[in-house]
Structure 1
Amino acid sequence: MCSAHRSRAQGTRVRVKILLDAQAVFWWYSDPAKISKRAVSMIEDGENTILVSAATAWELAIKTAIGKLDALSLVIDLPRYLAEEGFEELPVSVSQATRAGLLRLHHRDPFDRILAAQAQDLSIPVLSNDRLFDLYDVKRLW
């Protein structure tokens, strides 16, 4: 667990909102060494607002339930874990769900399509190693 990694930096830097995808959330919890140094730096910067979509919670729970991911403790304690990390929950709005449904089918993963729609709607980047986000006019950080 990466608890207590985020700190407030001194100075006048630009504050950025960043949306984490499910893989980034899982790796941050289980094995932060799998995340790029640049991405770790952005997450650790306490001036940045780190967002985790409700769709990501759903994706983690489904993948855990079907045995694709060993993350039961993360899924059960996700709200507490997000609060401890200083991450903010991002609900999915009806307009974002509609936007996701209307996106071109570059990416068949419905969870990532929701994240792309949220990133477009809020004009924020997605932190992900998945290059398919690049096809959706979304800034991807990694």
Structure 2
Amino acid sequence: MMRVLLDTHIYIWRVSKDRRLSAHFREAIDDAKQVYVSTASIWELSIKSARGKLAPNGERAIDELERQPFIVLPVELKHARAVRNMPDLHRDPFDRVLVAQALTEELEFLTADSELADYFNEALPA
């Protein structure tokens, strides 16, 4: 059984029961041994909320995490350091932290963002 880290949009879609969450992602989450959500995702959503740029389902996702059966993955020093060794395939700092966490913690990263998936197709330095 796999351990997974949810990208921010996958987390929102799951919590809000959004139709954009494909059967593939639903099954991966349901079948996972452990499902993680990063504090970086909540940080990102909180910034968007403060700027008035977050849809209602994103707003709910901020407060829902504690009521979900997911494991909260804090951003640690090793994750921040791992970002510096990553190729510059994606500019968003929150996404880069999520990728670094998935790689560092050996988690399957569930994302619909094909640019982020490229990180897992590359031979990355340790």
Q: TM-score under structure 2 normalisation?
A: 0.84
Name the structure where helix makes up a greater proportion of residues.
2
User: Quick one: higher RCO (CA 8 Å, sep 6+), 1 or 2?
Assistant: 2
**Matching residue of 2:47:** 62
1:112 aligns with 2:95: yes
State how 1:1-142 maps to structure 2 within 5 Å.
15-45=1-31, 47-70=32-55, 71-75=58-62, 77-82=63-68, 86-137=69-120
Give runs of ≥4 in structure 1 deviating > 6 Å.
Answer: none
Structure 2 gaps, min length 5: none
Structure 1 gaps, min length 5: 1-14
**Structure index of larger Rg:** 1
8 Å CA contact retained: 1:125, 1:138:
no
8 Å CA contact retained: 1:126, 1:138:
no
Give 1:51 deviation, angstroms: 0.3
Q: Distance in 2 between matches of 1:115 and 1:30?
A: 21
Letter in 1 for 2:4: I
Q: Distance in 2 between matches of 1:112 and 1:138?
A: 16
Q: Distance in 2 between matches of 1:17 and 1:41?
A: 13
Letter in 2 for 1:28: R
Give 1:102 deviation, angstroms: 3.5
Letter in 2 for 1:52: V
Percent sequence identity is 33
- RMSD over equivalenced CA pairs, Å: 1.9
Give 1:138 deviation, angstroms: 6.1
Q: TM-score under structure 1 normalisation?
A: 0.76
Give 1:62 deviation, angstroms: 1.2
